[in-house]
């Protein structure tokens, strides 16, 4: 019986040949958006070896999730899947995010935001507009400092390489407390306090799970240096929103670079802040566009299909989302 990859989201004429080519004949491809008849859809899903999806809550019809108990993998195109109701699937069904798929542009974005904060670029730009020429005002050098990276997967590793090029020491946290990527120090989540106390820069690139929600709160922020720079490219909810705002107000030398917000259009339908972060001079914001560069879609497809081929070959897929990590 031929393996089949069922793609749940629409693909244009450019994307379809790319998926076929990337599979290299390992499976046939079925596009669920092309099928309207319930019975035909059900047959395709029952016979699927792998599902390639973006948001199954929108792409599957009621009760279709129950037809996927036999799949080898449900592979998402998204790096973060916290907003997808994964608990609709049986716990034994393997589910993978597209972790690290957009790592390189996101790492560049982290570097840009952190440098802008350290060099006071936005603050002094606005001062120049007011006619102030603060040539004697000190900015910061990152060389020799510690960059702490919370979540040392694809994004964390890509960020570490850029920060290391600046001469920063790399401290990292991941679940294993080990990595093939060189670090000056690495620990597990139990060692978070140690990393927070050492970090001149903290980059958050860990997935949002029940365990990481509000992971960085008032206690954790208090452990950090008063002039540290926090950059969040992952999910707003990893940081306690009220605690961060209060900390920024109380510590004007502390800076936050926020790309990932708490309420965002893609996940929640609207953009909203419960606190006026953008009124603070020690905040730099961007609209969660760190991965929005040309070729992003193609890169994401290529990396997702590579993980699918691992599953089809009987290998362990990367970036599996455990039953206890499913938010919804």
Q: Which of 161, 264, 302, 310 is catalytic?
A: 264
- Measured CA to CA, the distance from residue 150 to residue 167 in angstroms comes to 19
- Tokens 């978070």 correspond to 192
- Measured CA to CA, the distance from residue 114 to residue 201 in angstroms comes to 8
- Tokens 């670079």 correspond to 257
Q: Is 268 part of the annotated catalytic residue set?
A: no
Structure tokens at 134: 């603060």
- Measured CA to CA, the distance from residue 88 to residue 56 in angstroms comes to 9
Structure tokens at 54: 């973006």
Q: Which of 235, 247, 303, 309 is catalytic?
A: 235
- Beta bridge partners, 186, equal 172
| β-pair type (146-150, 201-204) | parallel
Q: Which of 288, 303, 309, 326 is catalytic?
A: 288
- Measured CA to CA, the distance from residue 36 to residue 67 in angstroms comes to 16
Q: Is 288 part of the annotated catalytic residue set?
A: yes
* Whole-number CA gyration radius for the chain: 22
b/e burial code for range 84-102 (CB count within 10 A of at least 16 → b)? bebebbeeebbbbbbbbbb
- Measured CA to CA, the distance from residue 193 to residue 249 in angstroms comes to 22
Q: At what angle do helices 121-129 and 103-118 cross, to 10 degrees?
A: 50
Positions annotated as catalytic residues are 235, 264, 288
């Amino acid at each position: 019986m031929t393996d089949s990859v069922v793609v749940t989201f629409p693909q244009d004429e450019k994307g379809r040949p790319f998926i076929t080519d990337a599979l290299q004949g390992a499976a046939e491809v079925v596009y669920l958006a092309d099928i309207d008849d319930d019975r035909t859809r059900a047959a395709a899903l029952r016979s699927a070896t792998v599902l390639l999806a973006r948001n199954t809550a929108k792409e599957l019809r009621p009760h279709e999730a129950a037809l996927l108990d036999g799949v080898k993998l449900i592979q998402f195109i998204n790096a973060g899947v916290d907003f997808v109701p994964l608990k609709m699937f049986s716990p034994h069904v393997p589910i993978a995010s597209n972790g690290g798929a957009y790592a390189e542009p996101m790492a560049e974005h982290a570097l840009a935001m952190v440098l802008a904060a350290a060099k006071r670029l936005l603050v002094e730009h606005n001062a120049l507009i007011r006619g102030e020429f603060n040539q004697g005002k000190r900015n910061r050098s990152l060389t020799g400092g510690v960059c702490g990276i919370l979540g040392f997967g694809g994004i964390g590793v890509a960020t570490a390489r850029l920060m290391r090029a600046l001469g920063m020491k790399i401290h990292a946290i991941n679940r294993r407390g080990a990595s093939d990527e060189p670090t000056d120090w690495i620990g597990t989540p139990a060692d978070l306090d140690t990393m927070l106390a050492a970090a001149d820069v903290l980059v958050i690139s860990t997935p949002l799970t029940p365990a990481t929600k509000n992971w960085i709160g008032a206690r954790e922020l208090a452990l950090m240096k008063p002039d540290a720079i926090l950059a969040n490219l992952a999910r707003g909810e990893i940081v306690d929103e009220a605690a961060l705002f209060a900390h920024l107000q109380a510590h004007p030398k502390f800076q936050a670079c926020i790309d990932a917000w708490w309420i965002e259009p893609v996940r929640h339908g609207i953009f909203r802040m419960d606190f006026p972060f953008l009124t603070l001079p020690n905040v730099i914001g961007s609209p969660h566009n760190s991965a929005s560069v040309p070729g992003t879609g193609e890169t994401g497809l290529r990396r997702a299909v590579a993980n699918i081929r691992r599953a089809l070959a009987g290998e362990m897929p990367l970036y599996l989302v455990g039953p206890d990590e499913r938010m919804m």
